[in-house]
Structure 1
């Protein structure tokens, strides 16, 4: 690693930057358990417990990765594909079946974790690295941001909250976006680095003043300290279809691990080796195992970490791991978890809008660096058109498919990525000399 990654801020600056990483990880963590809890009709106490376990797992796996895994400042948060799998299976389950599905997902996560750990011990990471050329990573990043754009706008415009556009929510979200954008572009020094944190704090206060944060209604006393509960959804239950789907999800997420490491390495201008990817995959497998044991959503390295670093200019690893440690510890204190769970999702979406836009820019940058040959343009166009096209199909269009197949075919990001890999490496395969990733 180069020295610019290892420079250590001190004093108040270190504390503020660590707090910003903590808030950023929280903003990328709390939405998933809240949405999944609602999809499975979990009571408020179980949703709060799920948030606590997600904080523990996200912070813990991030620490594992930065010290023993890939050793890069990459946050670990709920994977979009795991999140989508939970929601898909919740949609097809009814009544008491939903509880059984959660137990089957525990087993699926455990199986996926075992497979990923085994793969990380095999000498295949160099080949996996070669699969993700700038063309593939560029298409992946564009599709990833596009797949989340609908959720962003539904949240920021108040559609998620009310079912229609809410002018007040939209205005408050716009204030947060403009504040983060202005600080990121015009701010200097500390102000520039604290843009997302200031945006989140400001938005949180504004939403509270406008009455958009519900008051605590749980009458049961909340303990100050509590260890996360093992198998909170019950003992794992084997279901062949869900196990196969979960293993496939874990295998596909290898692409996310590789692409995220690539993006963060380019952002920091550091060199990575095949061993970096191998350790990162091992950490991802351990994360899936831990998620199965602690009954939560499987984590994955978040590519948006690169956008956060680019937006804030924070390149040191010290505030990064301190922020992750704070999140990990907050998972041991239910009161802390309950407090951060009150962060409105609209504020999180608005504060993350600029870093995600930056990530879209990373994908476009990779694509613009390619030779604009007919072959490259065709691969890019087909992959994006098919992937985005699938995203526009209504869920009912896949109702006739088997659940395990539905979770794959209905995922536009996954379909577009698989098509891009096939076009790039099989159908329109080129010589190594045309692949900048091999340099």
Structure 2
């Protein structure tokens, strides 16, 4: 099978396959900075710069993994859990505090990355994976999607734009959702895998037709070439709660790193060793550090790469290498960022609604794999009820708490996850696991 990976296409076919990889990486990269920028009230110019840096990080970390990490054709894109953390913190922050939160997230990414790099050098991967049982990951995924539901609906219904439901925006968002849904359920081959990208393109055109594209208010001339600016949100600031949340997010994503490597390796029919996982974790840690340095959203290996390989039949590494390089190079050209910054956040929300709904389904699937014992049902119920309950509390309810403690207690996602870990591994710890599906 290794011969298949080294058998490279030539001529026009090589470039066609390379562009397919590039477009697929763009589809899994550009929506996240648009949505995060809108949540933090960033200007169009700042969103453009964020998109530019995100392209640079995604392309750069992908190439690092290919040469020094796990060495598989596995794309690195904005991690759903990372940008969900951004949106969660934006929702609980006041307008004047959002800039400070971004600086604290820079520190969180740096801390998480350093922890992951250190862990990659230690022989403890198996023990770390054991913490995140199907019960824990199931609860986490459900809490994650629930924490984002408000932001999604406010965006798709036009509430973020006008302060109330906008019928025009709501109808156009519904069209995008239905298009992505139809492609996800009925599409075949490449059409199915490119559903979110087709949804983004179609929605972009519809919003332009109805005059709903945001104008670029950046009066400064755009240079044709520019190096990314380090710490664009300001110097990193320490916040114990956000650092703790970020480190936990990075630890949870270890299971994502392992699963993505495994599914791509199986798709290609190649063997992976413990060292492959270790190098992949090293690359993920370096990606988090780079994201903190360049003020963007942390990346993660995208398991959907396996689906892309299966549907397109592109197994050679050379088109993958060229495609990732094209994305990396595009990060040095601000005009590319300016172009994608005109994407309405409502379109990004609508195009990603179906994939995030699937994420909720993955959480339910993990929980359904468990034996419905009284102990498991109690752990699930307590964790979800406490986590969701905290999400319903207004920010003013935590005003009397110390700032570092407020960042922890006010985050329903983090509270629910910590409680679930304690219930699963400490309070109701079992000597023998009763979830056979976890093997």
TM-score by length of 1: 0.83
SS in 2 for 1:434: coil
- Greater shift after overlay, 332-341 or 79-88? 79-88
Cα distance in 2 for partners of 1:415, 1:260 equals 21
Quote the residue 1:342 is aligned against. 342
* Residue 410 to residue 166, structure 1, CA distance change in 2 (3 Å): same
SS in 2 for 1:220: coil
1:314-329 alignment, distance < 5 Å:
324-329=324-329
* Residues 30, 341 of structure 1: 8 Å contact kept: yes
Q: Does 1:31 align with 2:35?
A: yes
Cα distance in 2 for partners of 1:29, 1:196 equals 15
* Residues 230, 293 of structure 2: 8 Å contact kept: yes
Q: Does 1:87 align with 2:83?
A: no
SS in 2 for 1:25: coil
Quote the residue 2:25 is aligned against. 21
Quote the residue 1:255 is aligned against. 251
1:17-416 alignment, distance < 5 Å:
18-36=22-40, 38=41, 44-70=44-70, 71=72, 73=74, 75-77=76-78, 79-80=82-83, 83=86, 87=90, 91=94, 106=106, 109-233=109-233, 236=235, 241-242=238-239, 244-261=240-257, 263-264=259-260, 270=266, 275-294=275-294, 296-301=295-300, 306=304, 309=307, 313=311, 324-416=324-416
* Residue 250 to residue 226, structure 1, CA distance change in 2 (3 Å): same
Cα distance in 2 for partners of 1:189, 1:134 equals 30
Q: How far off is 1:333 after superposition? A: 0.5
Q: How far off is 1:269 after superposition? A: 8.1
Cα distance in 2 for partners of 1:224, 1:301 equals 29
Cα distance in 2 for partners of 1:343, 1:379 equals 41
SS in 1 for 2:296: coil
Q: How far off is 1:3 after superposition? A: 11
* Residue 292 to residue 371, structure 1, CA distance change in 2 (3 Å): closer
SS in 1 for 2:226: coil
Q: How far off is 1:306 after superposition? A: 4.5
* Residues 136, 417 of structure 2: 8 Å contact kept: yes
Quote the residue 2:419 is aligned against. 419
> How many positions carry a matched residue from both structures?
426
- Greater shift after overlay, 216-225 or 253-262? 253-262
Gaps of 5+ in 2: none
Cα distance in 2 for partners of 1:3, 1:402 equals 59
Q: How far off is 1:185 after superposition? A: 1.5
* Residue 279 to residue 370, structure 1, CA distance change in 2 (3 Å): same
* Residues 53, 331 of structure 1: 8 Å contact kept: yes
* Residue 199 to residue 49, structure 1, CA distance change in 2 (3 Å): closer
Q: How far off is 1:31 after superposition? A: 2.1
Cα distance in 1 for partners of 2:258, 2:183 equals 27
Cα distance in 1 for partners of 2:119, 2:187 equals 45
Q: How far off is 1:340 after superposition? A: 0.5
- Greater shift after overlay, 388-397 or 246-255? 246-255
* Residue 4 to residue 24, structure 1, CA distance change in 2 (3 Å): farther
* Residues 34, 348 of structure 2: 8 Å contact kept: no
* Residues 256, 301 of structure 2: 8 Å contact kept: yes
* Residue 411 to residue 266, structure 1, CA distance change in 2 (3 Å): farther
Q: How far off is 1:343 after superposition? A: 0.8
Gaps of 5+ in 1: none
* Residue 49 to residue 225, structure 1, CA distance change in 2 (3 Å): same
* Residue 113 to residue 413, structure 1, CA distance change in 2 (3 Å): same
Q: How far off is 1:124 after superposition? A: 2.2
* Residue 137 to residue 320, structure 1, CA distance change in 2 (3 Å): farther
TM-score by length of 2: 0.83
CA RMSD of aligned residues (A): 3.6
SS in 2 for 1:360: helix
